[in-house]
Structure 1
Amino acid sequence: MINKPFLKSLFCLFLLLNFTLVSAAIEPYGLSAKEKSIVTISALTAKGDLVNLETALVEGLEAGLTVNEIKEVMVHLYAYCGFPRSLRGLRSFINVLDERKEQGIEDTMGKEATPIEDMRPKYDRGKSILEDLVQKKLDGPKADYAEFAPVIEVFLKEHLFADIFERDVLDYQQRELVTVSVLITIGDVEPMLRSHMNICLIQGITPEKLVELVDVLKNNVDNSKIDSAKEVLGELLASKD
């Protein structure tokens, strides 16, 4: 009788060797044009590839992303790759919008973030949002990093999950697409990548979409980082069986 660990290993191997075929097979059920643009814009901004970013920004606008949605992508990703990359991306976006305006193209601004009416402390709001993301209560022992440097755990709850994730210009799925794309692009953060890929699954992003996300990044991200992302995803999906 074939044991379960063997089946999991076989499944991981299948994913690693057949990513392109799998992506092609599920294309009708995969990422939308807007989602692909979010993935590409996130990666190129995180990488600092401003020349190709300008092309991706135009494609994103043509795919139906609003100006405010793209701005929000760049605001969100700074939490993972830093202010310098985010600010340079925003400046590139300004250039693209100015050029399009000169050509007579008026891009849709889209909605602004809804004002926050929740009067709870930001830490409590951030904790609640994180619990929504992972779909479980987080009342157990704190992580080692939180015990070692408590202030960073406060920053995570109050700033990342309250100040940023709470803004409704992008939904949770879109924010996780940004996050996973950036983590793959910067590389060497496998535990965080696995965690956020798992949140993607919890939030209803299908395994097929995650497979395609990695495939979309192949043109702009080093092969070693793509291979690492495939391995993390393969192991995560196998653990769900």
Structure 2
Amino acid sequence: MTKSDRGTAVNRRSLLAAGALISAVEVSTAPAASAASSRYVRGMAVLRRVSGDRGAEVIESLSDVAPDLGRYVVEFAYGDVYARPGLDLRQRQLVTIGALAAQGDTAPQLRFHIDAALQVGLSPVEVVEALIHIVPFMGFPRALNAVNVARDVFADRGITFKPPAQTDGRDRYERGVQKLVEVDGQHGLDVVESLRDIAPDLGRYVVEFAFGDVYHRPWLTAPQRQLVTIGALTAFGDTAPQLRVHLGAALRVGLSRDQVVEALIHVVPYAGFPRVLNAVTVARDVFEELPG
């Protein structure tokens, strides 16, 4: 193998590692013109809207090892899922950011989708806010790693902005209770009360930190926050009780049942069918328990 060949191989491996759900131009791995499916054509059109011209080399890099994988990304992730009408592209990127950040080992894909989020119109503040929002659900390490990815994307794009900081001086528990009732209703208070006999401080932290600090931040709307939450809890898996609460909260703050189901379906390309099937079972139970 020549030095040039080795360089090409290394570049191909790096592109594969980038793993981004690819970009936007037909390349040699596209189906032949006579065999191109409507799903592929539709997927490439959506992909252009999401990613501009980025990522064509990733598709090309699959041609010698898994050309069908590139086709599946275009046809299924974009031609089937992203093309569905239930959520707009900004909403879909919030779900995606939540799902990828929650999994913790998806930095290349998160990089691609933070860039895509900016491409479809989310602001840098909204992107960072979505990453801060996952802390109560997934912990600080995943959020810190994701924010570092966002910093790199902003630098690549030449984006500078003044990040906002919370200045509300009210008592954290007071504002947390207010936000908890707004999002979860009486059920949220019941959960906190249920901890009083075993871990009262845990209940207080839920109120003060999760809702008084994080949920109270004004830089995402309540429906946007629930889209991030749904993406994160579904992708993480093993969170049925929490997902039940937050699917109900999503309906409470204004998302429709169709939008909730759409957010769950959107997670499939990022976390797979089993987690989404489990989440849909939770959603069915929530819908049956709530009026309307």
Shorter-chain TM-score tier:
0.7 to 0.9
Q: SS of 2:211's equivalent? A: helix
Question: Where does residue 202 of structure 2 map in the other structure?
Answer: 152
Contact 1:133 1:203 in 2 (8 A): yes
**Aligned-partner residue type, residue 115 of structure 1:** T
2:245 aligned with 1:195 = yes
Distance 1:151 1:178, change over 3 A: same
Kept in 2, the 8 Å contact 1:197–1:233? The answer is yes
Cα distance in 2 for residues equivalent to 1:224 and 1:27: 20
Aligned pairs for 1:1-241 (under 5 A) are 27-28=84-85, 30-48=86-104, 49-101=106-158, 106=159, 109=161, 112=164, 115-117=167-169, 119=170, 121-136=171-186, 143-240=193-290
Taking the aligned partners of 2:191 and 2:237, their CA distance within structure 1 comes to: 28
Alpha-carbon distance between aligned partners in 2 of 1:142 and 1:204, rounded to the nearest angstrom: 23
Give the corresponding residue for 2:53: none
How many residues are treated as equivalent by the alignment?
210
**CA deviation after TM superposition for structure 1 residue 131, in Å:** 0.9
Distance 1:67 1:206, change over 3 A: same
SS in 1 for 2:261: helix
Q: Are the equivalent residues in 2 in contact too, given 1:46–1:81 (CA < 8 A)?
A: yes
| Residues 100-134 of structure 1: CA deviation (Å, up to 9, x unaligned) | 22xxxx47x488356315x3x22121111111113
* 1:240 shift after superposition: 2.9
Unmatched runs of 5 consecutive residues or more in structure 1:
1-22
Q: CA-to-partner distance for each residue in 1:67-124, whole Å, 9 max, x for gaps?
A: 11111111110111111111111111111111222xxxx47x488356315x3x2212
**1:169 alignment partner, SS class:** coil
Q: 1:137 to 1:81 in 2, by over 3 A?
A: closer
Q: Which has the higher contact order (CA 8 A, sep 6+)?
A: 1
* d(CA) in 2 for partners of 1:170, 1:220: 23
More displaced 10-residue stretch of structure 1: 134-143 or 44-53: 134-143
Contact 2:181 2:189 in 1 (8 A): no
The Cα shift of 1:135 comes to 3.9
Percent identical: 26
- Tell which structure's C-alpha radius of gyration is larger: 2
3-state DSSP class of the match of 2:254?
coil
Tell me if the contact between 2:192 and 2:206 (Cα under 8 Å) persists in the aligned partners: no
Where does the alignment leave 5 or more consecutive residues of structure 2 unmatched? 1-79
How far is 1:60 from its partner?
0.2
RMSD across aligned C-alpha pairs, in angstroms? 2.4
- Does the CA-based 8 Å contact 2:184-2:245 persist in structure 1? no
